[in-house]
Structure 1
């Protein structure tokens, strides 16, 4: 995708609005597609000069915003290009949101974590959490964990004792003696 400077966009829109030339002659003069010139003019008319500036940062949109854009597109008699210019979002982005919403519902519009899950345990988070607690709470928490471990061990030991009384020693153990 070709990226055009904000200066070129402003120059082309300014020439058109002054009435000196048509879209066709502007596109030939600057060696641009006519649709691109038309899109810039439309964006300028709907959103002003700021819409011609390039975005430096990656933007993220909430699920509510996405739903609002989809609802606006479906309820108003405007083209996808007009809606994209009005909300300052790419046409293909609106189209993909709409498709995802129709297939999977609102859950598809919510943001999801990117990338592979970490295999390393989050020990740093646990340490930060422990530092924030006071020492007495830390000791109580450790004691509760140890008590739970002791209970689990006793329960496991009781199960093993009962299974030994029910089933006796295994036949393989008798053969080896």
Structure 2
């Protein structure tokens, strides 16, 4: 089971798009980081509702890929969400 189901994610993104800030929504729904909401909004804008569906978390990545991600994040001084969206 996912922490935030699809219906809740859709509701939160909808509220954000009507003008409620990500900080207010994070507080209301006990989401630790408001960047999570911004990531959901970006994925919704790119992929529609499909972008909000929970994704499997049992993926394994090679050491080379992990190093590439960390190097890109450092070179671009990017946040975690920006890095995730890039990769």
Q: Please, what TM-score do these two structures have when normalized by structure 1?
A: 0.37
Name 2:29's counterpart in structure 1.
32
Number of positions where the alignment pairs a residue of Structure 1 with one of Structure 2 = 82
User: RMSD across aligned C-alpha pairs, in angstroms?
Assistant: 2.8
> What residue number does 1:44 align with?
41
Question: Which whole-Å CA distance do the structure 2 matches of 1:80 and 1:37 have between them?
Answer: 12
Shift in Å, 1:84: 3.2
Counterpart CA distance in 2 for 1:57 and 1:41 is 20
Measured in 2, the distance between the counterparts of 1:5 and 1:45 equals: 17
Distance 1:36 1:48, change over 3 A: farther
TM-score by length of 2: 0.64
Structure 1 residue 3: Cα displacement: 0.8
In structure 1, runs of 5+ residues without a counterpart are 88-177
Measured in 2, the distance between the counterparts of 1:38 and 1:71 equals 21
How far 1:77 moved relative to its partner? 2.0
Relative contact order (C-alpha < 8 Å, sep 6+): which is higher? 2
Q: Which residue of 2 aligns with 1:58?
A: 58
Q: Which has the larger radius of gyration?
A: 1
List runs of 5+ in structure 2 lacking aligned partners: none
Question: For 2:55 and 2:18, how far apart are their aligned partners in 1?
Answer: 26
